[in-house]
């Protein structure tokens, strides 16, 4: 138990530093003329509904280094929200829901969000599924435009293997192991699912012919070796594909 607590605390510190130092940040939020730089991977791992609603984006058209204006927030309030997202050891679903209802969704969106989120638990057979998190979380992102609703749902158990197998067939991507690795906290569990689902990776690591998709910012936050390689003067710092020997 003590070891788990130490591992969880180290992860909290590493992710907190990632946010504070803006290491490889790839998305910016503007709140009352105050800029907050963050990381798509962390936000999609922990608060996917908030990220997709607040940006009005879908995974298919997300770009790096975009800036999004947020209304109904005070800078200090949004700063606290990000700190919780990056450092809370527990599941942050309730905080995400509360923030969505109070600060992001208008009454009409809120009603439809609650209705569809509830309905999606009953029906996981939805075409065009995007894999953005745990198969236990069937959240729905809606993009309201002229009354039309686009739905982007976390992948269901029925589609997970198909998506990963398709990735393997197309790009020789090594599928993460299915062994039940015990994580030390809710934060660790969310980040593990991000990796297992191959969600929005920004770097490919090749080892003995096998390709592993990962997230540059998280690697740098957790490993001094990768921090030196990907943030310094090494040739790999500007590459999307790197090869490791041994």
Residues 6+ apart with CB under 8 A from 40: 26, 27, 51, 62, 64, 200
Q: Spell out the domain ranges in the chain.
A: 160-244
Supply the Cα-derived Rg of the chain in whole angstroms: 18
DSSP state, residue 237: G
Cβ neighbours of 172 (radius 10 Å)? 12
Give pLDDT tens digits for 38-66.
999 999 999 999 999 999 877 778 788 89
End-to-end CA distance of the chain: 33
CATH topology of domain 160-244: Potassium Channel Kv1.1; Chain A (3.30.710)
Tokens 């927030």 sit on residue: 73
Residues 6+ apart with CB under 8 A from 174: 168, 210, 211, 212
Q: Given this model, what pLDDT does residue 34 score?
A: 97
Q: Given this model, what pLDDT does residue 143 score?
A: 36
Q: Given this model, what pLDDT does residue 124 score?
A: 29
| pTM greater than 0.75 (yes/no) | no
Tokens 């309905």 sit on residue: 119
Regions in the chain scoring below 50 on pLDDT: 116, 118-171
| Phi, psi dihedral angles at 172 (to 5 degrees) | 55, 35
Assign 24 to helix, strand or coil. coil
């Amino acid at each position: 138990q003590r070891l788990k607590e130490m591992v969880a605390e180290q992860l909290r510190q590493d992710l907190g530093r990632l946010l504070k130092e803006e290491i490889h940040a790839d998305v910016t939020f503007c709140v009352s003329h105050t800029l907050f730089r963050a990381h798509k991977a962390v936000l999609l791992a922990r608060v996917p509904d908030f990220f997709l609603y607040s940006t009005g984006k879908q995974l298919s058209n997300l770009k790096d280094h975009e800036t999004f204006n947020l209304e109904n927030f005070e800078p200090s309030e949004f700063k606290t929200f990000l700190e919780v997202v990056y450092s809370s050891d527990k599941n942050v679903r309730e905080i995400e829901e509360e923030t969505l209802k109070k600060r992001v969704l208008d009454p009409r969106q809120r009603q439809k969000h609650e209705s569809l989120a509830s309905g999606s638990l009953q029906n996981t057979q939805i075409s065009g599924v995007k894999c953005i998190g745990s198969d236990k979380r069937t959240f729905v992102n809606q993009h309201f435009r002229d009354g039309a609703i686009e739905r982007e749902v976390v992948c269901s158990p029925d589609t997970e293997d198909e998506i990963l197998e398709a990735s393997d067939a197309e790009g020789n991507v090594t599928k993460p192991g299915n062994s039940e690795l015990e994580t030390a906290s809710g934060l660790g569990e969310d980040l593990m699912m991000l990796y297992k689902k191959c969600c929005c990776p920004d770097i490919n690591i090749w080892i003995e012919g096998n390709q592993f998709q990962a997230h540059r910012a998280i690697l740098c936050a957790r490993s001094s070796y990768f921090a030196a390689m990907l943030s310094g003067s090494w040739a790999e710092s500007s590459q999307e594909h790197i090869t490791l020997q041994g």
